[in-house]
Amino acid sequence: MEIKSSNKKTEKHLTQLAEKALAQIKDKEYQRMAEAAQIKAWTALGIAFSGKELKVAYA
């Protein structure tokens, strides 16, 4: 899971930020670390928020 915060509350911006968080999970190879810890099933979550507004991307 990667969490990003922003001052912009637009849906488009938060969606892009959630996707960026998801891309960071892939770039930093978090899956490889999970596999090394013998975690077989997992879901990557990219979360972006601003105040009470929230967007989630997952893979």
Annotated domain spans of the chain: 2-58
In tens digits, the chain (59 residues) has pLDDT values of: 999 999 999 999 999 999 999 999 999 999 898 999 999 898 999 999 999 999 999 99
Cα within 13 Å of Cα(26), Cβ side: 10
Q: What distance in Å separates the CA atoms of residue 27 and residue 14, rounded to the nearest whole number?
A: 20
